[in-house]
Amino acid sequence: MSDVKRYIVAPDEDGIRLDRWFKIHLPQVTFAYLNKLTRTGQIRVQGGRAKTSTRLQADQELRVPPLMFDTRPADAPRGDVKPLTKDEADLFQSMIIFEDKDLYVLNKPPGFAVQGGSKTFQHLDGLLMGLAKKSGERPLLVHRLDRDTSGVIVVAKRRSIASALGKLFATRAVKKTYWAVVKGVPKPPQGRIDVPLLKDQGPDGDRVRAGDKNDEKAQHAITYFAVVDQAPPITAWVSLKPVTGRQHQLRAHMAYIGHPILGDEKYDGNANMPEGISKKLHLHARRIVFPHPREGVVDVSAELPAHMRETWGAFGFDPDRYETDVE
H or E stretch including 291? Answer: strand 283-291
Residues 6 or more apart whose CB falls under 8 angstroms from that of 184 comprise 233, 234, 235, 236, 258, 259
- Dihedral sign (CA 273, 276, 277, 279): positive
Distance CA 318, CA 327 (A): 14
Candidates 122, 125, 123, 152; CA nearest to 139 is 125
Task: Classify residue 323 by its DSSP letter.
Answer: H
Residues 6+ apart with CB under 8 A from 51: 18, 38
- Give yes or no for a contact between 299 and 289, defined as CB atoms under 8 angstroms apart: yes
Q: Could you say which of 75, 146, 148, 229 is catalytic?
A: 146
| 175 bridge partner residues | 289
Q: Give the angle 152-52-46 at the CA atoms, nearest 5°.
A: 130
Long-range contacts of 310-316 (CB under 8 A, 24+ apart): 310/278, 311/181, 311/262, 311/277, 311/278, 311/282, 312/237, 314/274, 314/276, 314/277, 315/181, 315/229, 315/231, 315/234, 315/235, 315/237, 316/229, 316/231
Catalytic residue at 100?
no
CA–CA separation, 108 and 96 (whole Å)? 9
- In sequence order, the β-bridge partners of residue 108 are 151
**Contact criterion met (CB below 8 Å) for 94 and 31:** no
Task: Provide the CA 161 distance to its chain's centre, in angstroms.
Answer: 18
Catalytic residues: 146
